[in-house]
Amino acid sequence: MNWRLLVSDVSARIIGVFGFYVTVLTARTWFTIPYGPNVGNILGMGFSVLSLILTAAYLLPRFHDLVIERSFRASGRVPLVLASVLWLLLSVWVLQTSIDDGKPLLPTDWQEFVLKHVTPCMFFLFGLTIFPIGWAYSGAKQRLGDPGEQSALVQAKSTDFETTAYRKRDIWDHLIDAPVVVVLLGSALAYRFGDTISSGPFKAWVDSNYLLSFLVIGAMPWAIMLIRTWVRPPLRQQAKLGVGMKIIAYAIGLPFISFVQFFVTTSHGIPWVWNAVTQNPEATIFYQVVDIEERGRFRGCIEFKTPDKWNHRFTNCGLDSYWAGRLETGDLIEATGELSGFGHTFSRIEAVSN
């Protein structure tokens, strides 16, 4: 297996996803400022176009392969390096400006995390794969041969496909599924056994940005299918499904998994992880009991709502069974625990009325 090429391909997709977010953020900012022939609009439009092109250069596999092939020599690599470095530096400025102006696409805490932690990772991946280390070129050179000889290049591509397209599966075919499995399983455990629920502001943000939230979280199972199509071939033989299995997989299975993953991740997974890894002040909030599950595998789970927000309903399955037997529908409780922009942890609760 060509490890450098695999790492380079995955890194390029990650940089591309980051670039897509920056492009959307830049375009939204550009479209919301007054139009006119001024320098700000021209620069905003120029950076939006630059960001869109470079996002495609890293995110789209075939386009990325073409860019790597055309930039083997210094005459092609220098412009790519300069444009990419300029793009990443301007991305930092766009992220910071959106925070300062109070107009981030994500919650402010989340975007600050992207700015402080994700952005340095993008510079690291760029340095590892493009410049100065350049794994994308050393890995591709082993596969493609001398880029200066087109006939050898075509022959190398053909030979590479013929010798590796029908190999047996390896560990990477299973590790590709790991992100979805970890997120889905972790969020499901947080839903069933955790004592942290989504905060009002975070739920309101998810509700008002439903499409963006679903594309980021609920589309992960679909992204796995795209990764297997873009990153792994021709390194693995594609499984051939019958018509019936395709209907079950694509029309029923993937949509169902996407919906479940979106629900448990936004309602419990993200709040639980954020409160677990960060320190937040404690707060006391009043909640009202809506329903108590008395049978089945979810016995003891209690559905609450915020009294002044009828649409903020959630289920907490991590409370002691003592409360399931004591509380009744309509009871008011006060829950005390860590409160962040993403979630509220029920460390202590007291019944106010019953």
Which pLDDT tens digit goes with each residue over 75-95? 888 989 999 999 999 999 989
Q: At residue 227, does pLDDT exceed 70?
A: no
* Full-model pTM: 0.50
Question: Is residue 23 domain-shared with residue 141, that is, in the same domain?
Answer: yes
Q: What is the residue range of 226's domain?
A: 191-277
Look at residue 150 in the predicted model and tell me its pLDDT. 44
Q: pLDDT per residue over 19-35, tens digit each?
A: 999 988 887 766 555 44
Question: Is residue 26 domain-shared with residue 159, that is, in the same domain?
Answer: yes
Domain boundary among 242, 277, 312: 277
Question: Is residue 200 domain-shared with residue 98, that is, in the same domain?
Answer: no
Look at residue 209 in the predicted model and tell me its pLDDT. 82
Asked if the structure places residue 103 within a domain, the reply is yes
Asked if the structure places residue 185 within a domain, the reply is no
pLDDT bin (cut points 50, 70, 90) of residue 174 is: low
Q: At residue 105, does pLDDT exceed 80?
A: no
The whole-chain average pLDDT of the chain stands at: 78
Question: Is residue 265 domain-shared with residue 299, that is, in the same domain?
Answer: no
Q: If you average pLDDT over residues 230-254, what whole number do you get?
A: 62
Rounded distance between C-alpha atoms, residue 54 and residue 84, angstroms: 7
Rounded distance between C-alpha atoms, residue 155 and residue 144, angstroms: 9
Look at residue 58 in the predicted model and tell me its pLDDT. 92
pLDDT bin (cut points 50, 70, 90) of residue 271 is: very high
Which has the minimum average pLDDT: 49-58, 129-138, 316-325?
316-325
Question: Is residue 95 domain-shared with residue 241, that is, in the same domain?
Answer: no
Report the 10 Å Cβ neighbour count for 330: 10
Q: At residue 327, does pLDDT exceed 60?
A: yes
Q: At residue 153, does pLDDT exceed 50?
A: no
Rounded distance between C-alpha atoms, residue 137 and residue 72, angstroms: 7
pLDDT bin (cut points 50, 70, 90) of residue 42 is: low
Asked if the structure places residue 180 within a domain, the reply is no
Half-sphere exposure of 71 (CA within 13 A, CB side): 21
Rounded distance between C-alpha atoms, residue 208 and residue 352, angstroms: 32
Indicate the angle between helix axes 3-31 and 61-70, nearest 10 degrees. Answer: 110
Domain count, the chain: 3
Q: Label residues 251-260 b or e (16+ Cβ within 10 Å = b).
A: eeebeebbeb
Question: Is residue 226 domain-shared with residue 325, that is, in the same domain?
Answer: no
Q: If you average pLDDT over residues 337-354, what whole number do you get?
A: 86
Cross-strand partners of 303? 291, 315
Q: pLDDT per residue over 114-143, tens digit each?
A: 989 999 999 999 999 998 888 888 766 655
Domain boundary among 232, 248, 277: 277
Rounded distance between C-alpha atoms, residue 338 and residue 344, angstroms: 6
Question: Is residue 258 domain-shared with residue 309, that is, in the same domain?
Answer: no
Question: Is residue 289 domain-shared with residue 265, that is, in the same domain?
Answer: no
Question: Is residue 199 domain-shared with residue 295, that is, in the same domain?
Answer: no
Entry field: residues in the chain: 354
Look at residue 9 in the predicted model and tell me its pLDDT. 87
Indicate the angle between helix axes 74-100 and 39-59, nearest 10 degrees. Answer: 120
